[in-house]
Amino acid sequence: MKIENKVLACVDQSPFADHVGDYAAWAAVRMDAPLELLHVIERHPEIGDTRDHSGALTPNAQEHLLSELSEQDEMYTRRSREQGRVFLNRLRERALAAGVASVDMRQRHGHLDETLRDWEPGVRLFVLGRHGQSGAAGGQDMGSNVERVVRMLQRPVLTVTEGFKPPQRVLIAFDGSALTRRGVQMVADSPLLRGLPITLQMAGKLRQDGPREISWAAETLTAAGFDVRQSIRDGEAEKVILETIAAEDVDLLVMGAYSHARWRSLLFGSRTDTLLRAVRIPALLLR
Amino acid sequence: MKSLHGEWFSNVRNDLLAGMVVALALIPEAIAFSIIAGVDPKVGLYASFSIAVVIAFVGGRPGMISAATGAMALVMVTLVKEHGLQYLLAATVLTGIFQIIAGWVRLGVLMRFVSRSVVTGFVNALAILIFLAQMPELIGVSWHVYAMTAAGLGIIYLFPYLTRAVPSPLVTIVVLTVVALLLKLDIRTVGDMGALPDSLPVFLIPDIPLNVETLKIILPYSLTLMVVGLLESLMTATIVDDLTDTRSDKNRECVGQGVANIATGFIGGMAGCAMIGQSVINVKSGGRGRLSTLAAGLFLLILVVFLGDWVRQIPMAALVAVMIMVSIGTFNWASFRNLRDHPPSSSVVMVATVVVTVATHDLAKGVLTGVLLSGFFFAHKVGQILRVGSLAEDEGRQRTYRVTGQVFFATADRFVNAFDFKEVIERVRIDVSRAHFWDITAVSALDKVVLKFRREGCEVEIIGLNEASATMVDKFGVHDKDGAGDLLLDH
């Protein structure tokens, strides 16, 4: 696959799709990258919707059933294809209006994970909604797909919630780990956040080399032209971060995501999850 | 879809309802197949319960129904007749062990060699055998039985026009049982055919001497049961794959069938496998997940154990009607029309599979016949693609042969005969750039041609051995090695 370095916005037909599209457009404009809107049509073969309980095996029952089921699938696919096209087209107009130079749109069959895995090589930034169609009612629920998808991908993922506001102030949750150090480097090198004031927040149980790490990060960012404020605070990391977000009116959170094995987060819960549930601003997750 | 949760709980309501429909249809079948095998109905009922429940957890194809089947019952008839139930239970366990091994060594890939015609032959033969197995209940009986059977078939096929909410085979069974009881008809009932389950199944070890004699008795049956069980299971898995447009894990299914059969042997059930008809009914009723299979097995046991006294009263005529429905539903009626449309070789394969199976009552032999015939026909067809043309060149000093097509065991003779060894000529060039040499027969045929020309005093040059042919010739050929002539002379 050719390297296109595009921003890929994964949208489903939920109210959040507009905001996913808006943030993706914002990122595409800032990075001067092409934008692609992706809508995955998932079919659900694991759900049976034939309800013929007659239990009778008529002659050629198998052939009849096969043609009946494939007709159903065909109709479903056609309907969702057309719906999706109209919906994507609207998002495309919106992104063009927001000033993105090149907007592509595409619908694919299959599951979201597989599709994103196939698509990853040409993507610079993924944008997806933290509340998917399924989680729309739940408010605090994460879209069911987010953790699975983020764990699978290597590129940064911008997860957004309801509402769009061009980010003005950024908070980088920094813990001195290799992952967040790489993240700082990435932010420094990328045009995405250029010009935005950044708060470097280090919190939780303090590591001995914490101060050294954070000043390295601050220097790196300052050298790249960022206006940086650093803060080291004791206390529970999630709480500290939430407080800073509220106090400084931060509207974009940058953090490393799911650095622990899946079994660990199943047992002890994942900090990424806790934070993502608690904050209502978009989060740029670095892998 | 791959997730555990997805395979079990994405379709709960429909799975439970479909499982119920399937359970109701499984009861008459399990009884009927026990009767075919010559064992008490409880052997088939316990088997259907245990296989369905176990395969729900360990199978590779969610939504597929496995239980006691006709195909397996037909294989065990002689074993039961000559050695009794205990040997059948032992054979069931051994079958399971073989199936697990088959899954481990990934025998499932062999299904590639079972062509569509063989599959059609298999299901047609199965339908015919199930139908024929009902004959003992229909020959030399009073007119009541015929009337009941006809009425049963009428209800089965017409009741769905009234409502599709209730399984029509169940209606048939209930109506015919009530009629028989009200009219006090003196006809055979399920209770006359042997013991029904009166309790939950218990673990028991087959009561057989553990020695070589026993192994000698059960081994051939177990091998056949393994083959038949895996064949029908993998065929059914493919059918469910197609119906639901999803994929399944065939090797896991092989192992799963094995585990299910081992468990079944130890609770006094007969060997079983996946069922085409029931799986179709399940999908049709909305069953998709593992829960449907589990529900079918559990409902079956609950119904049979608690309603045993009622099951006993079911007239055999009702069962026969259900089994005739199964046989009609299993038969591939389109295959009659296809006899005219399809290439004759496919039809011969299909018919041969049916004939051999019906004659031997052994689906494994039928399938083997079909597969071998498919192989012959394929070799014959591919063998048609071989042309050897030639042209004299260089003012009659040289002749170039151009070989196009497939050279292998079936065409090797024609290949050799295409060369004129009596021609008086200085040089022969054989251009094989557009030929494929498939096997050592082909390679030795080429050797033979080269050596024959050399003995006539011709120079031979082979050009354009493509990659495929080159590897074969390098590995096995002698003509380009030193002492080739001696080797031939030695013969």
pLDDT on residue A277: 78
Q: Is residue B141 part of a domain?
A: yes
B172 touches chain A (CB under 8 A): no
Q: Is residue A144 part of a domain?
A: yes
A59 touches chain B (CB under 8 A): yes
Q: Is residue A244 part of a domain?
A: yes
pLDDT on residue A135: 42
Q: Which residues on B lie below 8 Å from A65 (Cβ)?
A: 243, 280, 283-284
3-state SS, residue B368? helix
CB atoms within 10 A of CB B161: 9
Nearest CA in chain B to A51: B285
- How much is the average pLDDT of A71-95? 88
**Do B18 and A53 make contact, defined as CB atoms within 8 angstroms?**
yes
pLDDT on residue B467: 59
pLDDT on residue B487: 42
A-proximal residues of B, 29-68, CB under 8 Å: 62-63
Quick check: A261 pLDDT over 80?
A: no
Quick check: A141 pLDDT over 70?
A: no
Q: Which residues on A lie below 8 Å from B21 (Cβ)?
A: 53, 55
In terms of domains, do B313 and B420 share one? Answer: no
3-state SS, residue B389? strand
Q: Is residue A49 part of a domain?
A: no
- How much is the average pLDDT of B257-282? 95
pLDDT digits (tens, 9 = 90+) for B53-88: 999 999 999 999 999 999 999 999 999 999 999 999
In terms of domains, do B133 and B240 share one? Answer: yes
- How much is the average pLDDT of B258-275? 96
Q: Which residues on B lie below 8 Å from A70 (Cβ)?
A: 245
Residue ending a domain, among B315, B339, B363, is: B339
Q: Which of A140-149, B39-48, B318-327 bottoms out in mean pLDDT, i.e. has the lowest?
A: A140-149
Where does residue A55 rank: exposed (0-12), middle (13-18), buried (19+ CB within 10 A)? buried
Quick check: A81 pLDDT over 60?
A: yes
The span from the CA of B26 to the CA of B33, in Å, is 10
Q: Is residue B366 part of a domain?
A: no
In terms of domains, do B334 and B395 share one? Answer: no
In terms of domains, do A251 and A114 share one? Answer: no
**Do B283 and A57 make contact, defined as CB atoms within 8 angstroms?**
no
> Which pLDDT band holds residue B486 (cuts at 50, 70, 90)?
very low
Q: Which residues on A lie below 8 Å from B163 (Cβ)?
A: 54
Q: Which domain holds residue A38?
A: 6-44+79-160
A249 touches chain B (CB under 8 A): no
Q: Which domain holds residue B408?
A: 386-490
B439: left (phi over 0), alpha (psi -120 to 50) or beta: beta
**ipTM beyond 0.85?**
no
Q: Is residue A37 part of a domain?
A: yes
pLDDT digits (tens, 9 = 90+) for B74-123: 999 999 999 999 999 999 999 999 999 999 998 888 888 899 999 999 99
In terms of domains, do A143 and A196 share one? Answer: no
pLDDT: which is higher, B380 or A162 = B380
Q: Which residues on A lie below 8 Å from B62 (Cβ)?
A: 46
The span from the CA of B68 to the CA of B326, in Å, is 14
Q: Is residue A67 part of a domain?
A: no
- How much is the average pLDDT of A134-156? 63
In terms of domains, do B323 and B420 share one? Answer: no
Residue among B333, B469, B313 nearest B404 (CA):
B469
- How much is the average pLDDT of B195-221? 89
pLDDT on residue A72: 86
Residue ending a domain, among B283, B318, B339, is: B339
pLDDT on residue A213: 83
B238 touches chain A (CB under 8 A): no
In terms of domains, do A15 and A156 share one? Answer: yes
In terms of domains, do A277 and A235 share one? Answer: yes
Here the CATH number for the domain that contains residue B482 is 3.30.750.24
Here the CATH number for the domain that contains residue A39 is 3.40.50.620
**Do B289 and A46 make contact, defined as CB atoms within 8 angstroms?**
yes
Q: Is residue A261 part of a domain?
A: yes
Q: CB contacts < 8 Å between A and B, how many?
A: 121
Q: Which of A8-17, B1-10, B177-186, B290-299 bottoms out in mean pLDDT, i.e. has the lowest?
A: B1-10
**For chain A, percent of residues with pLDDT exceeding 90:** 13
Q: Is residue B421 part of a domain?
A: yes
Of B17, B62, B277, the CB nearest to A53: B17
Total domains present in chain B: 2
Q: Which residues on A lie below 8 Å from B18 (Cβ)?
A: 48, 53
In the sheet with B459-463, reading across from the earlier edge strand, the strands are B386-393, B398-407, B427-437, B459-463
Residue ending a domain, among A134, A160, A186, is: A160
Q: Is residue B479 part of a domain?
A: yes
pLDDT on residue A267: 58
Q: Is residue B157 part of a domain?
A: yes
pLDDT digits (tens, 9 = 90+) for B436-484: 888 888 888 998 999 999 998 889 988 877 655 665 655 555 555 544 4
> Which pLDDT band holds residue A150 (cuts at 50, 70, 90)?
confident
pLDDT digits (tens, 9 = 90+) for B355-413: 999 999 889 999 999 999 999 999 999 988 899 999 988 888 899 999 988 888 899 99
Separation in Å, CA of A85 to nearest CA in chain B: 24
pLDDT: which is higher, A112 or B389 = B389
Quick check: B176 pLDDT over 80?
A: yes
Quick check: A99 pLDDT over 90?
A: no
A266 touches chain B (CB under 8 A): no
Give the DSSP per-residue string, chain A.
Answer: -----EEEEE--SSTTHHHHHHHHHHHHHHHT--EEEEEEE---TTS-----TT----TTHHHHHHHHHHHHHHHHHHHHHHHHHHHHHHHHHHHHHTT-S-EEEEEEES-HHHHHHHHGGGEEEEEEESS-TTTGGGSSPPPTTHHHHHHH--S-EEEE-SS------EEEE--S-HHHHHHHHHHHH-STTTT--EEEEEESSPPTTHHHHHHHHHHHHHHTT--EEEEEE-S-HHHHHHHHHHHHT--EEEEE---S-HHHHHHH--HHHHHHHH--S-EEEE-
Q: Give the list of residues 6+ apart from residue B4 with CB closer than 8 angstroms, or none.
A: none
Of A47, A61, A63, the CB nearest to B334: A63
Of A45, A50, A66, the CB nearest to B286: A50
Q: Is residue B393 part of a domain?
A: yes
Of B14, B24, B330, the CB nearest to A55: B24
Q: Is residue B101 part of a domain?
A: yes
Separation in Å, CA of B4 to nearest CA in chain A: 12
Quick check: B317 pLDDT over 60?
A: yes
pLDDT on residue B468: 57
In terms of domains, do A140 and A209 share one? Answer: no
pLDDT: which is higher, A178 or A86 = A86
Q: Is residue A51 part of a domain?
A: no
- How much is the average pLDDT of A24-39? 91
pTM for this model (two decimals): 0.78
Of B163, B288, B331, the CB nearest to A46: B288
Total domains present in chain A: 2
In terms of domains, do B197 and B332 share one? Answer: yes
> Which pLDDT band holds residue A211 (cuts at 50, 70, 90)?
confident
In terms of domains, do A12 and A139 share one? Answer: yes
pLDDT on residue A49: 72
Quick check: A262 pLDDT over 70?
A: no
Q: Is residue B373 part of a domain?
A: no
Quick check: B247 pLDDT over 50?
A: yes
The span from the CA of A65 to the CA of A59, in Å, is 11
Separation in Å, CA of A62 to nearest CA in chain B: 6
| Mutation target vs B (from A46, A49, A63; most B CBs, 10 A cutoff) | A46
Quick check: A18 pLDDT over 60?
A: yes
In terms of domains, do A277 and A150 share one? Answer: no
Q: Which residues on B lie below 8 Å from A147 (Cβ)?
A: none
The span from the CA of B403 to the CA of B415, in Å, is 9
Mean pLDDT, rounded, of chain B: 89
B239 touches chain A (CB under 8 A): yes
Q: Is residue A133 part of a domain?
A: yes
A73 touches chain B (CB under 8 A): yes
Residue ending a domain, among A160, A182, A208, is: A160
In terms of domains, do A132 and A26 share one? Answer: yes
In terms of domains, do A142 and A247 share one? Answer: no
Residue ending a domain, among A108, A141, A160, is: A160
pLDDT on residue A131: 64
Q: Which helix (H) or strand (E) holds B432?
A: strand B427-437
Quick check: A145 pLDDT over 90?
A: no
- How much is the average pLDDT of A231-253? 86
In terms of domains, do A156 and A270 share one? Answer: no
Separation in Å, CA of A113 to nearest CA in chain B: 12
Separation in Å, CA of A158 to nearest CA in chain B: 26
pLDDT on residue A269: 58
Q: Which residues on A lie below 8 Å from B164 (Cβ)?
A: 51-54
In terms of domains, do A144 and A279 share one? Answer: no
